[in-house]
């Protein structure tokens, strides 16, 4: 049980934000199977959606990505056994300042029980590294090594059991896999949930990995959840529920509540009419396969990549027009630009309705950042990326690379193609040193300090309310960043700090019953009767 020394959060408090300054980070990985024989620009623009295709092309052309120690250009082909090194300027999104709490530490049995705040991812992923739970436990709490057993979504708060040895983590994981752990959650959903016990037993399938989207689908994995209403608040038209997931599928409680027609009240994905329409996916969606696809809809001020002649580098009078030289071949459209990347990671053919949901989800994500997306092309008028203070390890000697791989020749014309092991060895080119990289990527100091970094775009949203929101966001960004609207090192458009309460959802892991004991947290503040939240955003 949770110790009495852990106080509940007073209902009147609102946590602030926890942020860290941007930093250069060298990322290294071996090529994954699904990357083989594909161009690197097509890979990164399909696998990651944090930035525009134009930005990824610009970053590659800046020379910050290497394959086996050689600079990779947008058209470089990734082969089996390739080792990719990419230097990125990481802007970790803020998380709430609600602290991670250690509820129980059992040294003898080698595990801890913690209360994870919503907004913090468990593992380093995407844009998160230092603000991930594993890093926080190791760096701030002094645990040399931690082994996660159960994983909560970034937006979900609550109980987690962490092994302090691989053996303990393995035994606990087997309990979870076998369904021997009794899990209990608390959720606040939209509407007046029926009284009594409600059981949902619908299979779930992940249909879009980049967006993390799951739906009820006959080809999905078996999932069962039991819901019981605790109380209903008429003022907010929401109900607080006790939830018992008998299986452990991704987004299980969120999708099952949506299926019933009572989605988690502040869920940015499964409770959004812009994505699902007025019924919010109640009863599930059509699953009949379809080949229908459509390209993402760009903001009105940022033309589609299919017309690169029209893409301007900046706005508000500080830009110059970019045009394609007559006779020069236009860049080919990538799957992300045509919409054909939708479904690439799905285990089953998608229906037209599923494709529409994913397309609208992607468009909404872009629209949320619309006030600054035009500045994704500001780099066209700037210098190259310029990593500062980065430390990159040399490429390991032949035969000692992580996870192995075939041999390669240093000939740039092979685009990293493997060569037979029987061929004579050729000296392996080493990764760029820090001084070499800095010399190659040294920017023009005048460009780095250009006043253009502080020029606000003219509000251009389709409605007066949205234009007002754009203008206010620009003012907030400048106030938070000494007048700058762009990062001076990587030219990334900066964003205003989000309200802390928008960084988590009303879903909390309350109690686990295991072979090691029963562990629980305090009830979340938002579960209290009569609790209200700001729904104006």
CB under 8 Å, gap of 24 or more: what pairs does 302-305 form?
302/373, 302/374, 302/376, 302/377, 304/337, 305/53, 305/54, 305/331, 305/333, 305/337
Q: CA-CA distance, 376 to 492, in Å (whole number)?
A: 7
Local structure of 371: helix, strand or coil:
helix
Strand runs (DSSP E) across 217-310, as ranges? 224-233, 238-245
H/E element, 501: none
Residues designated catalytic: 153
Residue 55: other Cβ atoms inside 10 A: 20
Which tokens go with 132? 């991930």
Which tokens go with 507? 């879903």
Local structure of 333: helix, strand or coil:
coil
Q: CA-CA distance, 355 to 289, in Å (whole number)?
A: 10
**Helices 40-47 and 53-61, axial angle in degrees (round to 10):** 140
* DSSP strand pairing (17-18 vs 95-96): antiparallel
Which tokens go with 28? 């290294």
Name the one residue in this structure whose structure tokens are 């949902």: 200
Q: CA-CA distance, 110 to 106, in Å (whole number)?
A: 6
Phi, psi at residue 104, to the nearest 5°? -160, 135
Phi, psi at residue 363, to the nearest 5°? -65, -40
Residue ranges in 119-203 assigned as alpha helix (H): 133-139, 166-177
Q: CA-CA distance, 281 to 485, in Å (whole number)?
A: 38
CB under 8 Å, gap of 24 or more: what pairs does 268-277 form?
268/155, 268/502, 268/505, 269/211, 269/212, 269/213, 269/361, 271/190, 272/364, 274/360, 274/364, 275/357, 275/360, 275/361, 275/364, 276/357
């Amino acid at each position: 049980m949770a110790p009495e020394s852990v106080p509940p959060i007073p209902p009147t408090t609102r946590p602030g934000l926890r942020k860290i300054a941007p930093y250069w980070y060298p990322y290294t990985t071996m090529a994954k199977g699904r990357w083989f024989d594909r161009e690197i620009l097509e890979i990164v623009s399909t696998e990651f959606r944090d930035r525009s295709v134009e930005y990824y092309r610009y970053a590659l052309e800046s020379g910050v990505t290497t394959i086996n120690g050689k600079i990779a250009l947008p058209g470089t082909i990734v082969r089996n056994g390739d080792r990719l090194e990419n230097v990125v300027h990481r802007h970790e999104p803020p998380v709430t300042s609600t602290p991670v709490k250690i509820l129980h530490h059992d040294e003898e049995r080698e595990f801890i029980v913690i209360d994870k705040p919503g907004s913090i991812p468990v593992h380093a992923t995407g844009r998160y590294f230092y603000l991930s739970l594993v890093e926080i436990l190791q760096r701030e709490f002094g645990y040399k090594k931690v082994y996660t057993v159960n994983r909560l979504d970034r937006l979900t708060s609550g109980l987690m059991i962490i092994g302090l040895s691989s053996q303990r983590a393995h035994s606990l994981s087997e309990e979870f896999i076998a369904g021997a752990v009794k899990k209990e959650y608390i959720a606040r959903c939209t509407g007046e949930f029926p009284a009594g016990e409600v059981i949902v037993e619908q299979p779930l399938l992940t249909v879009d990995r980049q967006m993390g989207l799951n739906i009820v689908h006959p080809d999905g994995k078996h999932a069962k959840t039991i819901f019981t209403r605790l109380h209903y608040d008429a003022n907010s038209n929401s109900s607080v529920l006790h939830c018992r997931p008998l299986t452990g599928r991704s987004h299980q409680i969120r999708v099952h509540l949506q299926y019933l027609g009572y989605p988690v009240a502040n869920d940015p994905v499964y409770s959004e009419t812009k994505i699902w329409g007025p019924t919010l996916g109640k009863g599930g969606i059509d699953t009949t396969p379809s080949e229908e696809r459509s390209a993402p809809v760009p903001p009105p001020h940022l033309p589609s990549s299919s017309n690169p002649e029209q893409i301007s580098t900046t706005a508000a009078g500080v830009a110059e027009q970019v045009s394609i030289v007559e006779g020069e071949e236009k860049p080919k459209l990538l799957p992300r630009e045509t919409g054909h990347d939708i479904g690439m990671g799905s285990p089953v053919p998608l229906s037209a309705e599923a494709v529409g949901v994913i397309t609208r989800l992607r468009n909404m994500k872009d629209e949320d950042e619309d006030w600054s997306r035009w500045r994704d092309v500001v780099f066209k008028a700037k210098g190259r990326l310029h990593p500062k203070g980065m430390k990159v390890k040399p490429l390991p000697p032949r035969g000692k690379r992580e996870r192995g791989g075939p041999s390669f020749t240093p000939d740039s014309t092979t685009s990293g193609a493997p060569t037979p092991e029987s061929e004579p060895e050729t000296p392996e080119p080493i990764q760029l040193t820090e001084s070499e990289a800095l010399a190659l990527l040294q920017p023009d100091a005048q460009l780095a300090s250009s006043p253009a970094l502080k020029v606000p775009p003219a509000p251009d949203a389709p409605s007066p309310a949205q234009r007002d929101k754009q203008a206010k966001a620009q003012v907030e960004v400048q106030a938070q960043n000494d007048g700058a609207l762009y990062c001076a090192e990587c030219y990334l458009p900066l964003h205003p700090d989000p309200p802390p309460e928008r960084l988590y959802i009303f879903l909390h892991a309350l109690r686990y019953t295991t072979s090691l004991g029963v562990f629980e947290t305090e009830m979340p503040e938002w579960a209290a009767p009569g609790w209200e939240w700001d729904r104006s955003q």
